[in-house]
Amino acid sequence: MIEKILLASPRGFCAGVSRAVKTVEDALALFGPPVYIKHEIVHNATVVKDLERRGAVTVENAKSIPEHSVVVFSAHGSPPQDYEIAREKQCTLIDATCPLVSKVHLEMHRFLKDGFSVLYIGHKNHPEGIGVMGEAKHHAGKDIPLIESEEDVERLSFLPEEKLAFLTQTTLSLSETEKIIAALKRKYPHIVAPPGKDICYATTNRQNAITSLAKKCDLILVIGSKNSSNSNRLAETARAEGVPAFLIDGAEDIDPAWLEQKHTVGISAGASAPESRVQDVVSFFKKQGASVENHTFIVESTRFPDPPELKKLWERKKP
């Protein structure tokens, strides 16, 4: 029987996701539907469905965006070709790429300009990596090697005199990425790291919070969608602490078998998961008599300003 639930903090929406969701809401308020979204605005089924109900239309390929339409690019970032397509179609483009992802795009530019060969640590087919690696292909005609594991590092064959640098996806596992970076440094001691870590503050804080939470629980539930990288990493981080952990979109996904002989459940949520879904899960356990306690690891205060083009559009609308 579940006696207690421990709620991780921080959890759920990060500054980049809040900004991206607000950008779509503002675009709908400014222009009315339809507002096209290139790729899911954030990787969460509840958020995407809610915005689509209000008039957002998600498309996977920039070529599917109609001419002269209003389009928002998702928080994950996009390759340069997509910006060109939106310009050619004379769309009103509002870019909701998280500023911390844009920072990695800029780092890619700087390293290439300074003559480095760049490696990218990330997950295959994730839109963030497609965007960042697309910069190198578009501006320098270079294919960037994607590193997903220590085995991938072993397969690299750069020459010792080659200038090398690495960048990473913002939502990776801290511990797995450390192992890959250590392998890179063993093989190429001169490899240059990005200035400041690319794994973002929200990923870092949520993983550190769940690591400390796991020590107090015999089960962890992470609220988030299956295609959310940072939500998956949270569940993996809990499992690495020896605690069973499951990724769920909401209370409807809870399997009663998971709860057998368990007493304390830790709850966290990926950076794209809305608090309403967390509260549904809290209610589920409260109805069964469980008490609720907060487990605060750190208090976040990061906020990002609106995309500059959105600010200009609001200015123009003023009477």
Binding site for ligand SF4 (CB under 6 A): 14-17, 75, 98, 100-101, 170-171, 200, 202-203, 230, 271
* Total Cβ atoms within 10 A of residue 24: 26
The two structure tokens encoding residue 104 = 């990695």
The two structure tokens encoding residue 239 = 């499992």
CA atoms of 313 and 93, how far apart (whole Å): 11
Active site residue 128: yes
Place of tokens 């794994």: 199
- Marked catalytic residue, from 40, 107, 128, 135: 128
Smallest separation, CB 198 to ligand SF4 (Å): 9
Of 69 and 168, CB closest to ligand SF4 = 168
Of 51 and 271, CB closest to ligand SF4 = 271
Smallest separation, CB 138 to ligand SF4 (Å): 21
Smallest separation, CB 112 to ligand SF4 (Å): 21
Among 113, 227, 119, 239, smallest CA distance to 181 is for: 119
Smallest separation, CB 207 to ligand SF4 (Å): 11
Of 6 and 200, CB closest to ligand SF4 = 200
Give DSSP secondary structure letters for 110-127: HHHHTT-EEEEES-TT-H
CA atoms of 178 and 191, how far apart (whole Å): 14
Contact yes or no for 2/290 (Cβ under 8 A): yes
Q: Give the nearest residue (CB) to ligand SF4.
A: 16
CA atoms of 207 and 201, how far apart (whole Å): 10
* Total Cβ atoms within 10 A of residue 101: 23
Smallest separation, CB 157 to ligand SF4 (Å): 31
Of 118 and 172, CB closest to ligand SF4 = 172
Of 119 and 271, CB closest to ligand SF4 = 271
- Catalytic positions, written as ranges: 128
